[in-house]
Amino acid sequence: MAGLLLAAGTSARMGRPKQLLPVGGKRLLDIVLGETLRSDLDTVVLVLGHMADDITAGLSTDLHHPKLRIIENNRFREGISSSIIAGLSEVENACDHVMIILADMPHLTAGLINLLLYQYLESGLPLAGLKIENRRSHPVIISRKFYPDVHQLRGDVGARDLFLKYADQVCLVDAGESYDDMDIDTMADYLDLKKSFEDNP
């Protein structure tokens, strides 16, 4: 199973590259990338786009990690679907499953990634996602069965319609009450995140 870590966006609502925002002595992307690499995923594809060179230069993670591949999505302005397709194209011949991970979810842990991974494999179902308070959240997993559908995605949308269309084929994994699936889109989100790290160093 490959993890597709999506970090190609322009951070338009933030006004600066949120991938490099400092949080608890690290960069936001370093936090998520580190947890993803510590998980049991076989391969991790980091999909960059906007300011890719600046972002790789600003990271402290070992970018030569044996599980890590870094690719650049030159079509990032077409929306998140282009990054999903770029990441999938990198691994689809070798991997029967992909986990789509958003790079701006700082509370995601390797343990949660593994929980989702193994419960999905045990379920035998072709789709999976974390569940929080009876709603689906990220990350999500897509099996080879639906790779053709992924290639049909367009615009700034992920695989939501796929999960709605095949709701009876989705394994939902309870993330537990302590998990906060906040993502960082605005400066207010970032300030809340910084405060949470200061309160729980």
Which domains, and CATH codes, for the chain? Answer: 2-199 (3.90.550.10)
Cα torsion through 117, 158, 131, 163, rounded to 10:
-90
Buried b (16+ CB within 10 A) or exposed e, 93-111: eebebbbbbbbbbbbbeee
pTM for the model: 0.93
90-143, pLDDT tens digit by residue? 999 999 999 999 998 989 999 999 999 999 999 999 999 999 988 888 999 999
According to the model, what pLDDT value does residue 200 have? 59
198: confidence class by pLDDT, cuts 50, 70, 90: low
Mean pLDDT of all residues belonging to the chain: 91
